[in-house]
Structure 1
């Protein structure tokens, strides 16, 4: 009893030190325990492995398995589950699969969590077929799937565009007597929303209410996004009011969803009221929320307040992202202040952020509207990635200043690459060529546009 109690006390001390990230001291306690005759057991080593996986690295954690064997302690399923969780966290599917196979070779039977972890890792790393195979193999290994297994499977189906299979799995669960938990329902709501099945989102939400399960902030926020995307703003706002009445006042995502919806409808005053309410409720603002508020100020053309928020982001120790700068670039361009827009784009590049297509497109559009077409072409040449909006903005800008021959060359490039541009831009180029006396060029270009429609399915 004394030895068992001492090992238990040793494990409690090590767990506390690992939780505090003091792994050196935890290792020292193990050494002291051995010196005093209190030998570590499998729980001791599993605690260390979990901590090393989370705070140090997977290779260092795996070395502890060798130490276990040298000490005569056999690894168990929890040992390998901890290592697999670490491999999943670092998105290493091959490593995770290797651990799964090694566990079986060592005579350790994988359990439900082993399969869940491996499936989750494979889904996250783009190996859905292997993940589906792991689920299929569970029955042959006499491993009973849990609700977590089914949640992982349903999420994987949605992630890889197999929404019908996800819905069938969900209904099969109910048919076989599984009672879906709120997590399962939330997974369904999120997957259906991202798949564009908005009607089914509302049906599932109705089912949640009828089942007696209490929705949480995630549930409400997902359904609110569904209402707003369906352009049923009043229903979305009613749901937000219901959420607030249930004292879900600390969810920043819900507020951001409502603020974004109000901004899109042009109700900036209501958006400001919502921002004030959020701040009064003591909700900490994260970067996503800052970006939403900056967007509000840019829509109002209040760039001073937007820039003040940019300073607040830095003071709060947060790092502005591509969305922050894209919003500012767009706001300055709409004000006609292309110099400030260009400066913020430069700051984004200096900050080491990746090239943002939206920001560059906004700048090209702003330069063209300001009549600085040559500068727009310079920016265009700098871009490694271009899309249909890039070309459309440039074509309209060139036509605006009467440079139809140059515009026709860019349009020819679009036709050869199968890039779709707006019909208004195509017509502007054709009309400009005819009015400038280049009727023959316009005729050839028009024929090329018709050919491209059949070859590339360009409208």
Structure 2
């Protein structure tokens, strides 16, 4: 990092003007006494009683700074003994006094560091930003850069947690340069520290402030900001930064150009990419393997495989050897458009050129074969990678399992999982989740339950959704006893039961003429805070009607209307149909009157049932009248 001429500086504030106008040597020998007048007063209570001067030295609060400083200057960094001697004075050790002590001992960073840690850890005092800024400057001056970077990161966190909002760390560092030894590299370190904690905008702002002060950061620091902005898709700021780098004399390198090539490729403007590459070559930079890989990947993602392979051939002509990333991008592009055979041929070509494939490359091919339904080829590749010592990862397992699932071979998928686990592959919960759900979809609840029991033994904690799927599957095959056991297990595991847990159980119980048990479950559900829906209302009404218990069906329908404001016409019609089928005209009409009073609104099907019931009743009456006449005749 270097400085640009003072005539080019833009004046920000008095501290910045001061920095730009006095020689660097003056900063190094800045008087501590001047600083003591400008240090803000600490939270400690001011001592004004003159009688304190008659006290012994280790009991006079005025002497806290002198006592600690003298102890540190004797090269004795063990402060535990001093702590017992001055324990009565320690309540008077505030931020102002800490800063004074740091400044008095700044020529010995070991002493300063020992004091700082003693205050922070042994005394438990929360240090402020000024204390941090001083020790950071002293450590940087002493070329203890890793320690300075550690404290910079702490200072950034401290500034974020500040009650009054995020402090301006850069400004605080500048203010402290007036009073202690300092090294301008600290401002570049601040940029890197911000990038490290993903505060990219703050790092960019620090860069601009640094330039206004007259300092020029290195290309490494600029590239870190540029890379962060590129990842955040702040393209406009990327180009602003690049132009500013040129203006202040920061010479771009290959890494700079590769980042900007990536930005251009993401936008997809081919003309701009070509123009930029030409400019790059004019400035003396030949595209390297990273540049080519960025371009190839961009072309492959956009389906421009001919352009991608053209660059692949150009690489050889220019003496740039394609690497694993180059081949992965090309094979991904081919597989994306169903050209799996060509991707496999390229894979063999890569091996012939003595490049070792990795798990990502194998996964690319295996995934393509699985999606194409060619599980035998995928399995063969899996065995190849195991044979050469590449351990399949969770993604390999996932794509193979899903491939078998799509092919209707879930048993093969289960066997594969067992085999991969034996090889040390981590089988993630989502793979087991997929297997359980797929087995449930095939109405194989016992196999699904077996997988559930296995993952519980392995330490996985299945969620309520998995249990609900199993309950639904058991109910679908009319095995309500197993479904109820699973419900009990959910309660034992403190999993929250939802309407999806109860609905299949109630429906199944009503379907096997156990509507009373279904209603009991609904009562339990309501008591637990889960409200029923129209579907539960219908299955219970239909269940009671199926069992011939019209009275219970009606009382339950009225209860749904009054308690939950469910006026389900379909349930009402089911009850009407029951009375119509029994030909009870009087009960049919009375039921309709009672339901209208409750608030049910008839629809066309309601009218049809009533009319059909009346017509059926009229026909029966007519037959009864005609029967005696026939007998008399």
TM-score range, shorter chain: 0.5 to 0.7
2:147 is aligned to 13
Q: CA offsets, 1:297-329, max 9 Å, x none?
A: 3454346649969x98xx979999xxx99xx79
| 1:150 positional shift | 0.4
In 2, distance between residues paired with 1:210 and 1:48?
47
User: How far does the alpha carbon of each residue in 1:351-386 deviate from its partner, in whole angstroms, 9 at most, with x for none?
Assistant: xxxxxxxxxxxxxxxx9xxxxxxxxxxxxxxxxxxx
Partner of 1:265: 407
Is contact 2:404-2:413 (8 Å) kept?
yes
- Indicate conservation of the 8 Å contact 2:261/2:273, yes or no: yes
CA apart distance, 1:227: 3.0
1:215 to 357, 360, 366: 357
- Of the three residues 228, 231, 245, the one matched with 1:86 is 228
Partners of 1:102 and 1:116 in 2: how far apart? 18
Q: Distance in 2 between matches of 1:300 and 1:46?
A: 61
Match of 1:226 in 2: 368
1:172 corresponds to: 314
Distance 1:319 1:181 in 2: 43
Q: Is it true that 1:37 corresponds to 2:181 in the alignment?
A: yes
Of 197-206 and 242-251, the range deviating more from structure 2: 242-251
* Per-residue deviation, residues 92-144 of structure 1 (Å, max 9, x unmatched): 22222222222223332322211211222333355555444433432223222
How far off its partner does 1:219 sit? 1.1
Alpha-carbon distance, 1:285 to partner: 4.6
Q: Please tell me whether residue 162 in structure 1 is matched to residue 298 in structure 2.
A: no
Q: What TM-score do you get using the length of structure 2 for normalisation?
A: 0.45
- Distance in 1 between the 2:332 and 2:207 partners? 39
Aligned equivalent of 1:23, options 156, 164, 171: 156
Aligned mates of 2:440, 2:188 — CA distance in 1: 52
Name the CA distance, whole Å, in 2 between partners of 1:319 and 1:147: 46
After TM superposition, list the pairs within 5 Å mapping 1:59-98 onto structure 2: 59-69=201-211, 72-98=214-240
Q: Distance in 2 between matches of 1:242 and 1:60?
A: 49
Which region of structure 1 is more displaced relative to structure 2, 54-63 or 286-295? 286-295
Q: Is the 1:224–1:239 contact (alpha carbons within 8 Å) kept by the matching residues of 2?
A: yes
Q: Which has the higher contact order (CA 8 A, sep 6+)?
A: 2
User: For the residues of structure 2 that align with 1:129 and 1:287, how far apart are their CA atoms?
Assistant: 46
Alpha-carbon distance, 1:282 to partner: 4.7
> 1:201-237: CA deviations, max 9, x gaps?
0111011111111111011111222333444322221
Change over 3 Å in CA distance of 1:236–1:250 after alignment to 2: closer
Choose which of 185, 193, 199 in structure 2 pairs with 1:57.
199
Counterpart contact for 1:54–1:86, Cα < 8 Å: no
Please give the alpha-carbon distance, in whole angstroms, between the structure 1 residues aligned to 2:198 and 2:324: 34
Native 8 Å contact 2:194 2:202 kept in 1? yes
Secondary structure of the residue that 2:144 maps to in structure 1? helix
SS at match of 2:361: helix
In structure 2, distance between residues paired with 1:262 and 1:341: 32
Aligned partner of residue 250 in structure 2, secondary structure:
coil
Where 1:223 maps in the other structure, the secondary structure is helix
Q: Could you tell me how far apart the structure 2 residues matched to 1:188 and 1:21 are?
A: 44
Post-superposition offset of 1:31: 8.1
Q: For 1:66-116, what per-residue CA distance to the aligned partner results, in whole angstroms no more than 9, with x for missing partners?
A: 443365431232232111111112122222222222222333232221121
Post-superposition offset of 1:257: 1.8
Distance 1:11 1:33, change over 3 A: farther
Superposed displacement of residue 40, structure 1: 3.6
Q: State whether residues 128 and 160 of structure 1, in contact with CA within 8 Å, keep that contact through their aligned partners in structure 2.
A: no
Which piece of structure 1 moves more, 152-161 or 138-147? 138-147
Contact 1:33 1:39 in 2 (8 A): no
Distance in 2 separating the partners of 1:36 and 1:21: 20
1:54, distance to aligned residue in structure 2 (A): 4.7
How far apart, in 2, do the equivalents of 1:230 and 1:13 lie?
55
Instruction: Work out the CA distance in 2 between the residues paired with 1:123 and 1:276.
Output: 43
Structure 2 spans left out of the alignment, 5+ residues: 1-106, 108-136, 160-168, 479-496, 502-534, 536-633
Asked if the contact 2:394/2:427 (under 8 Å) is kept, the reply is yes
Shift of 1:61: 1.1
What is the DSSP-based 3-state SS (H/G/I as helix, E as strand, rest coil) of the residue aligned with 2:216? coil
Aligned to 1:243: 385
Structure 2 SS opposite 1:108: coil
**Equivalent of residue 109 in structure 1, options 229, 234, 251:** 251
| Contact 2:410–2:435 (CA under 8 A) maintained in structure 1 | no
SS in structure 2 opposite 1:208?
helix
Count of residues in correspondence between the two structures: 332
TM-aligned CA distance change 1:231 to 1:48, over 3 Å: same
